[in-house]
Chains A and B, each alone.
Chain A
């Protein structure tokens, strides 16, 4: 069945049976399920979309997932913009619960990477606040988002320098195509991709674009090469280059490593882990050195992290 839904409000509209009113359902807010009985309610919402759903229950599940992810990203944005202290604390705790149980952190990071942060320093401060509150999921999302900013700035800069002919040939504006890329989580994929995987990642990201033609494919291919060239043209703001850190690291993005390390040691050790920039400042401080067997359980690439840090893991290994 065809339904209308709004991600921001969590409302679902179902056409009624012949002769009856359509119905409105809410997956989040306090608006009760009821007939959609006046235009005022419908006009409150500005992001109606249409989709096919097998049942009302499946539509509810799908919309609720999108609704919570959207608001997780919005609340993180609110935190970065700034909130009064008590509200900041409550928001972080609520978000941590959300990220632990109902929202995939990586998808939220994808939402946050739609544009570079105006105040990344605010994000860094919030990482410390979240850590102090024991809200590690929030800390990790914010930390990753902040760490990716130099690459995001470089990517958006490269995007702006792309030839307008590419966009004209596709019949889409740069802004529209960027929004679509962000919507599909493509920006995070590109930022995490190694240099030799950038093009593949770009093409994979564009695979599911609606109504793509063979000629569009060719344009996207050329566009991807241009984008990669421009993206890697200038060094990133930090000195650390995750793609050349060591043999075997090639396709493993640094951010994923940080996440894996954090998750691993969170489970097994009392720890404090910080990685405040892309380069040279990653350090693991553990109260006991993990045994060599522990290292082997983590991806081999992480062994290269301590090369530029305190050497704890290398010593332990």
Chain B
């Protein structure tokens, strides 16, 4: 996520990761009305129906890194805080709806989603064409999350859909992308996020990958 977003999350533990939908549903503000909002709402509505406002988006990863096209700060969620409330989709939901030519009310085709316990099956189905018999497992994280850091339309990943919100205490690790494009403010904010995360880690809890 951008350092600006991560900074807000780590400002205090009472800050919840709300996202646009959470705020709209909370009645705090009116949603933006231009076409992009209708597209967003349309995509989320087709996949999640009436509870689309409860969904927070993430990426399934084998390490501590997510998509570099979304910002400098990569937060890994503790498994125990989300395992019971996350599902996975084979790709970006916006592209998925378009590729599958889904219309409102259409069922989601089988074989493209998984719960936490079956996430390995979805990952295998997605990256199987790139796997080799004697391939190096160290390469698997890069097969699962592919991004050039510039063009989001080229990103390849499994999208995570988390029901409900979370706060900074759900975050197990924070990594900063030193190579991606950034400016001085982003770098500074990213360092502050890391400092705040360290402060909060008095009793670290080991979590597995998100």
Contact = CB atoms under 8 A, between A and B. Distances in A.
A37 B153 contact: yes
A39 B185 contact: no
A91 B186 contact: no
Interface string A102-146: 000000000000000000000000000000000000000000000
Given A22-B39, A45-B20, A46-B19, A40 B70 contact: yes
B32 interface: yes
A81 to B, nearest CB: 9
Given A31-B70, A43-B19, A2 B183 contact: no
Contacts of B31: 48
A87 B176 CA distance: 15
Given A22-B35, A32-B181, A39 B152 contact: no
Given A9-B2, A9-B4, A30 B182 contact: yes
B86 interface: no
Nearest to A39: B40
A170 B23 CA distance: 24
A15 interface: yes
B93 interface: yes
Interface stretch (A70-78, A225-233, A252-260, A302-310): A70-78
Question: Majority SS of interface residues in chain B?
Answer: helix
A90 B188 CA distance: 8
A41 B59 CA distance: 12
Contacts of A24: 36
Nearest to A7: B4
Interface string B13-46: 0000011111100000101111111011001100
Which among A14, A34, A37, A40 has the greatest number of chain B C-beta atoms within 10 A? A40
Contacts of A39: 39-40, 43-44, 57, 93-94
B106 interface: no
B4 A29 contact: yes
A14 to B, nearest CB: 8
Which among A48, A78, A84, A90 has the greatest number of chain B C-beta atoms within 10 A? A48
A94 B94 contact: no
A295 interface: no
B57 A46 contact: no
Interface string A77-107: 0100001100100110010000000000000
Interface of A: 2-4, 8-10, 13-16, 22, 24, 28-32, 34-46, 48, 50, 71, 74-75, 78, 83-84, 87, 90-91, 94
Given A3-B34, A30-B186, 11 more contacts: A2-B33, A4-B32, A28-B4, A35-B153, A37-B94, A37-B152, A38-B43, A38-B92, A43-B57, A46-B20, A46-B23
